[in-house]
Amino acid sequence: MRRNVLSNQKGSASVIVILVMLMLVVFGVLAFVSAGSSLRLAQKNAAMTQEYYKLDAMAEQATAQASETLKSSERSDFKRLESTLGKITGVAAVHVTRSDNGQPLIEMRIQDSKTGADKSLNVILSPAASGSGVVIHEWKLVVKPFTYEQQIGL
């Protein structure tokens, strides 16, 4: 009698169809999950790129204003130079030091007050030797390190 139960093939096609349908449903769900995560990643990438170019534009304006300030003011008065450059829109911090050749070396941190303090653009520049314009030594995006506690609110 056991042989009869095992040799009976009624319903085996239905079992195969059900398993195939189950596999198709699982693959469909996986495809939707993958597409959703790809969309979120693309949106984050677009937002990061947009923030960078906004900071870049602010840094360009600050660099142009710093160049004008260097042309019109006394370069040896570092405190006054820091004070003047610190008033430029988007400049979060300014530090002026003396370079090896005696010229001011200006370090500016450009930050958008609307987007928060997690991203900034550091710019290091000095006056050009010709007297017109500036020489840019560094132009670097700085992103605040991520911690899990910040993300999940612990």
| Residue among 83, 46, 43, 52 at smallest CA distance from 66 | 83
Q: What is the mean pLDDT of residues 63-76?
A: 78
Q: What is the pTM of this model?
A: 0.70
What would the DSSP string read from start to end of 27-78?
HHHHHHHHHHHHHHHHHHHHHHHHHHHHHHHHHHHHHHHHHHHHHHS-TT-H
pLDDT in tens, 76-130: 677 888 888 888 888 888 888 888 877 888 899 888 877 666 788 888 888 887 7
Q: What mean pLDDT comes out for the span 51-74?
A: 85
**What does pLDDT average to over the chain?**
83
